[in-house]
Structure 1
């Protein structure tokens, strides 16, 4: 970590270690325009804004948001209503994501119940054969 009188900076190695991701992952997000570190020759220099954006990207990924939705959420912060429009959009996306996850959970519960019934029938049939 480098500290200047203006602003603290980090290297790609430091950022990757902090967030538990690979350099390749960070470069991928940079290629997509989700983060934009400063360049000093061949070296990437990350500032607080880049780290904040990376944290939002990784949180969104953990919650199952596609990268384009994450981009929209991040980009909203830079628009006129900034944080308010970003939060309103995130809330609508959370509602959609929650509904999707709850439907998946119901599907998983149904599949597990079916597996339980099938396992029971298999065990009963095996017991009859013994």
Structure 2
């Protein structure tokens, strides 16, 4: 689990990339999109605890299927709040739509998993029941005895 950072902590691009298993290029792309705003010390990017927290939210948003533009809008909810309730209601509707989509995807996944589990059970049963049924065994023994009896005149030995 990723540990929270103190409010005055600063992180290099490498620190965040390694901590969150993303590439430095990804972080620069998020900066270009206005999702992260690191401080600069010369050409070095220094990310604050707030940038780090935003990165956690960005990655969480991507994981549940939001676009980067939608994530940016959600991250800027404070600014949206100052523009009135219409923007907040729009964001709320997007959240609810995404919840519905994710629930449908979960249901589809559960159904697919159930079908795969049933297939595994069927295959396991086939593998466990490789022993032929008794009637097949009886016919095979009868065939073997018949074949042995017919071979006796040629081989001179008696059937076992």
- TM-score (normalizing by structure 1): 0.66
Q: Residues 2-41 of structure 1 correspond to what in structure 2 (within 5 A)?
A: 8=8, 10-13=10-13, 16=16, 20-22=20-22, 24=24, 25-41=26-42
Instruction: Report the number of matched residues.
Output: 124
Residue 115 (structure 2) aligns with: 114
Change (3 A) 1:59 1:89: farther
Change (3 A) 1:124 1:44: closer
| Cα distance between partner residues in 2 of 1:55 and 1:83 | 27
Residue 100 (structure 1) aligns with: 101
Q: Cα deviation per residue 1:101-130 (whole Å; 9 max; x = unaligned)?
A: 111111112112222333344344453675
| Cα distance between partner residues in 2 of 1:12 and 1:27 | 12
In the TM superposition, residue 16 of structure 1 has moved relative to its aligned partner by: 1.0
Determine helix, strand or coil for the equivalent of 2:45: strand
| Cα distance between partner residues in 1 of 2:84 and 2:54 | 13
| Cα distance between partner residues in 2 of 1:76 and 1:117 | 46
- Unpaired segments of 5 or more residues in structure 1? 1-6
| Cα distance between partner residues in 1 of 2:14 and 2:76 | 25
Determine helix, strand or coil for the equivalent of 1:46: strand
- TM-score (normalizing by structure 2): 0.56
Determine helix, strand or coil for the equivalent of 2:57: helix
Q: Alignment RMSD, CA only?
A: 3.5
| Cα distance between partner residues in 2 of 1:48 and 1:112 | 40
